[in-house]
Amino acid sequence: MTKTELLYEGKAKKIYATEDPEVILAVYKDQATARNGKKKVNVAHKGTLNNQITSHLFNYLKANGVASHFIKQVSATEQLLHKVKMIPLEVVLRNLASGHFETKFAVPHLMQFNRPIVEFYYKSDALDDPFINDAQILALEIATEAQIEALKTKALLVNQVLKQLFDQLGITLVDFKLEFGLTSSGEILLADELSPDNMRLLDKKTQQSLDKDIFRKGLGDMIPAYQEVLHRIEDKEQNANVLS
């Protein structure tokens, strides 16, 4: 399948139409951004790493009962996706306190929650993605009550599956951000990407970050950490294949 018209260019990906109106093609870019694009640099290999990590994780989620827009990886930087109408919400799930939760409520770093927290943010670069609650989502007619509940349920399920996977890889899944879209028949599908760009991952042994916090906090080169995440996922898959 070949790409045709450029439909959208975001901070980390370009989205193209294809000859099939129901299928789009995502090209992962070698660009890292933080603070809503205010900090932006070119980072070689980031696109291929995030494409591969996302492809592995969407395949893993599918095998564990979580449907997504992902069809298949088609090249080092490209993947084919079902076209969906994006819901303008960032769905953040937190297992441990970090980032905005830690600073907003002045709680200890990595404070453990009794149960995972789901939060919504309204996707708007102009407004800096503000926090939004259920009543505000309903007032702005972004989603219905049933859809809000479905988003929460799906985020919790993604967490259950990924947390277990990362535990096996010696990695703590601290928090992550998901985005969802609607198919033409109204089904809610997990969309966007699943990479160290939108999740916080900590090496269980060293407590080192294996995610974009390295870039956000200016702690050095993010690429070896992203490679480490990919290698651990691939090693686990190879072992699973050898055993099966």
Mention every residue, 6+ apart, whose C-beta is less than 8 A from residue 56. 230, 233, 234, 237
Which residue lies nearer to ligand 5GP by CB, 3 or 233? 233
Contact 56, 157 (CB under 8 A): no
Taking CA atoms, 58 is separated from 54, 61, 103, 171, 193, in Å, by 6, 5, 31, 18, 8
Residue 73 or 98: the one with the smaller Cβ distance to ligand 5GP is: 98
90 binds ligand 5GP (CB under 6 A): yes
Structure tokens at 35: 């603070």
Indicate which single residue of 57, 61, 162, 175 sits in contact with ligand 5GP (rule: CB under 6 A).
Answer: 175
The least CB distance from residue 244 to ligand 5GP, in Å, is 32
What is the C-alpha separation between 235 and 237, in angstroms, rounded? 5
Work out how close the CB of 153 gets to ligand 5GP at its nearest, in angstroms, rounded to a whole number. Answer: 19
Interface pick for ligand 5GP out of 177, 210, 214, 229 (rule CB under 6 A): 177
Angle at 6 between CA 91 and CA 88, to 5 degrees: 20
Least gap, CB of 242 to ligand 5GP (angstroms): 32
Tokens of 135: 């009543």
Distance CA 70, CA 158 (A): 15
Q: Which of residues 107-146 bind ligand 5GP (CB under 6 A)?
A: 129
Closest approach, Cβ 21 to ligand 5GP, in A, equals 28
Residues from 36 through 75 that contact ligand 5GP (CB under 6 A): none
Considering only the C-alpha atoms of the chain, give the largest distance between any 2 of them, rounded to a whole number of Å: 52
State the residues that interact with ligand 5GP by CB under 6 A: 90, 92, 98-101, 129, 175-177, 197-200, 212
